[in-house]
Amino acid sequence: MSSADASPPHAPPVRAVVRCHVHKFGGSSLANAALYQAVTALFDDGARQSAVVVSAMQGVTDALIALLTAARAGQDWAPAWHGLQQRHLEAADRLDEHGRHGLRETLGHEFATLRDELAALAGGSAESEAIALRLPGWGEVWSSRLMQAALGGEAAGWQRLDAREVLVVHPGELGVAVDWDASHARLAAWRAQHGNGHVVLTGFVARDAQGRATTLGRNGSDYSAAIFAHLLDADALTIWTDVDGVLSADPRLVPDAVCLDSMSYAEACELAYFGAKVLHPQTMAPAMQRGLPIRIRNTLNPAAPGTLIAATSQPAPSPVKGLSLVDRLAVLELSGAGLIGVPGTAERMFAALHRAGVSVTMISQGSSEHSICCVVRADQAQRGREVVEAAFAEAIADGQVEGVRLTPDIAVLAAVGDGMVGTHGVSARLFAGLAQARVNIRAIAQGASERNISVAIAASDATRALRAAHSAFWLSPATLSIGVIGPGQVGRALLQQLAQALPRFAEEGRLDLRLRAIANSRHMQLAGKRLDPDAAIAALADGEPLDLDRFAAHVRAEHLPHALIVDCSGSDAVAAHYPAWLAAGIHVVTPNKHAGSGPLPRYQAIRAATRHGGTFRYEATVGAGLPVIQTLRSLLDTGDELTEVEGVLSGTLAWLFNRYDGTVAFSELVREAHRLGYTEPDPRDDLSGTDVARKLVILAREAGRELSLDEVAVESLVPEALRDVSKDEFFARLHELDAPLLARYQSARAQGLGLRYLARLDRDGRASVGAASPAAGHASLHSRLTDNLIQFRTRRYADNPLVVQGPGAGPDVTAAGVFGDILAIAQTLGARA
Ligand code: ADP
Ligand code: ASP
Ligand code: MG
């Protein structure tokens, strides 16, 4: 049987053999000897010929430029030179353990040459200019030697080619341009001498038309790789770096940036031109000419597929592919009534800038033509202003033109994507995001290709603007950064409910609730991305000491659109923070009754803060998960008027009075309720009526009444004599409650009435809580177990009151009330219900 017969019917197609694969490693992938060794495993793709373009070791180009500057300034450069040599020799010793490649000697000579060059610079040699031109490129030379040794050297089939031997460049309109003919010829000559094997190449460096060694500009090794891919007629180009690919924004500024699967050359060019450091902006041109796709991959995570840059890109979920920032810019604005309708003004302005070599990043002109503004590099701004003023000197003297205004400290934020073409609302989304982050836009430009919208903003707003714009395009509008305080019973139940609901929300993609912080009274745990709600409480054990200001600042993260704090603490001190949090735009949700029923001025401060800040919701403070406050709100908001509220506002007291019929002593029922967990640890907290009074105050204030807790007439069921004794003594003397209550009950029965513990707010604003005898037929007489019951009498519900009734206590239903508030806020932020 032939081997063809043996192959399975649907064998995968054999991959075409790669003729030549160019790999480029940035300094970020080459920090030490171990990394040089590690990356060699990445070339094993069966390519007939591999070319490896290397940058300098991480930080080396910066160090060389610092040496250059120091030598020119007459400062002591020797220690830094020595340190740099040391670092390279250490790497050489590891990569060439037995000295087979003679690395130590070669590097030693080259460092000696560098030392002579620095000395010459310091001495003001006639060679200074040529030295300064080539000096920054030393790092690539050394790096290529290290890489060749890591790969086993010539013995293993790896030649080394110093790009300065073959690559000829000259200054061009858009940066350094390649002299293709000369470079091809030189490469062919080199090949004739060295054969067609694998090769290690220096990135970044080249020679100029005068034959002097030079560089392609900072970050230029990407460009080198694309140039050599072109020269070598490669059919694959991979740029290896330290991130998974091209991300939607600089990950150092936007922690939520996502990796893009694919981009078009045009998108990549725009993004790189507008500052995305991951690629040199000129990289795309040589690849584009050959139709050669570029793959960006992560040395540290080779399993990730990376980003493919090719002629067209796959449609992405967002019309914007990426966002980037250019900083150190300034705005030049030429304005004056005399510019209106005068042809050639723009041309005159830009011709003047062009002649002076001032490069223009962005141009914006209103259709009134009253002003033209452009964004230029900060270091060229003064010069730019002078040349434009000179070009319009006459018009300025005549008063037709006001002059040229220079605004320093500007950054440009660019949104880039082929998908923006013809898509409605892209700029609206961008501007809405920036407005929400209170970023002021100085100028706007949209390229006619519609592939780029750029906005000039104050440099001090740049990061905030980038984060806000990113969340406007990539995050669900209902992305909430959440902090939970005080994980007691209710907090725990809430975390469980969140843990259950989050996977469903994620699947539906409508809501992104991110638990990012948790605190108890002593500790807090802050997470950059998110905490698992199931593990959050355990994470508190190794948390840091509580600092509520830092906690709030962390929750209010700039890269996430909304922030929310859930206070399940029951603490008055925490409630005191609400006004500041709300004013900072943080939403607050709580079952803590202290804010709603605490000092009136603080309550008013909270209300005032919500007018321009976050939303405050506290549904679970009354009737746990029952829709009490929202029902009242809806009545009032639709124009109804509240006349009276009456109800059973304590689950504990409801249970006691529902059970009490005089046959079993009241004290026995209290003991039973305590055993069942229906009371607070100290039942006096329920029996005193204060908790009920707090709820009544909350309802009254919600209805617009300025009621304070001390204005509520409270009947405590705890006899005077038992109020200040210990809990044990209280339980021992519990029977002292019985006689007065039995008397009350019997007198009610005698009149055919029942006995309940009721809260009441009457039409004159009088508020009271205490045991009372509602008439037969009163809704409270039909409630069950721990039911809460609130009846609203209003203008519309005058004769037959509106009643909200149901279980109104317990951690689960209370947490559900809190969760409901969180979802209600999310809904106002744009989550689809
Ligand atoms: P290399 O040394 O490999 O050339 P660079 O440091 O020049 O690496 O570029 C990679 C870095 O660029 C990343 O580590 C990242 O911090 C930064 N960066 C900025 N913008 C982006 C972006 N949009 N996508 C990916 N990385 C970006
Ligand atoms: N080493 C050079 C630089 O740091 C070139 C590069 O890394 O691309 O700018
Ligand atoms: Mg780079």
pLDDT tens figures, 130-155? 999 999 999 999 999 999 999 999 99
Residue 29: CB within 6 Å of ligand 1? yes
Nearest CA to ligand 2 atom 8: 219
Quote the ligand 3 centre to 226 CA distance (angstroms).
Answer: 13
Three-state secondary structure along 115-127? HHHHHHHHCCCCC
The pLDDT of residue 6 is above 50: no
Catalytic residues: 695
pLDDT of residue 510: 75
Q: Half-sphere exposure of residue 166, counting CA atoms within 13 Å on the CB side? A: 24
Residue 693: partners with Cβ closer than 8 Å, 6 or more residues away: 597, 709, 712, 714, 759, 767, 769
Q: pLDDT at position 775, please?
A: 78
**Residues 136, 65: contact at Cβ < 8 Å?**
yes
Catalogue the E-assigned strands of 560-650. 562-567, 587-589, 616-617, 642-648
Q: What is the mean pLDDT of residues 570-578?
A: 95
Q: Does residue 639 carry a pLDDT above 50?
A: yes
pLDDT digits (tens, 9 = 90+) for 731-767: 999 999 999 999 999 999 999 888 999 999 998 889 9
Kindly report the pTM of this predicted structure: 0.76
| Mean pLDDT on 672-688 | 88
The pLDDT score that the predictor gives to residue 487 is 83
Mean pLDDT of 645-661: 93
Kindly report, residue by residue over 399-433, the tens digit of the pLDDT: 888 889 999 999 999 999 988 877 888 888 899 88
Alpha helix (H) ranges present in 422-529?
Answer: 426-436, 462-474, 489-508
pLDDT computed for residue 186 by the predictor: 97
What number of other Cβ atoms are within 10 A of residue 216's Cβ? Answer: 24
In the reported structure, the alpha carbon of residue 45 is separated from the centroid of ligand 3 by a whole-number distance in angstroms of 24
For residue 786 and ligand 1, the question of a CB distance below 6 A is answered with no
In this predicted structure, the answer to whether residue 377 has a pLDDT above a threshold of 90 is yes
pLDDT of the residue at 582: 97
Please give the structure tokens belonging to residue 667: 């004290």
Q: Rounded CA gap, 760 and 549, in Å?
A: 39
Minimum-distance ligand to the CA of 142? 2
Question: What sign for the dihedral angle of Cα 631, 633, 638, 641?
Answer: positive
The CA 143 to ligand 3 mean position distance, Å, reads: 15
Given the CA of residue 322, which atom of ligand 1 is nearest to it? Answer: 23
450: pLDDT strictly greater than 80: no
**What pLDDT was estimated at residue 89?**
98
Which amino acid is residue 662, in one-letter code? G
Rounded mean pLDDT of 455-473? Answer: 91
Task: Name which residue sits closest to atom 26 of ligand 1, judged by CA.
Answer: 278
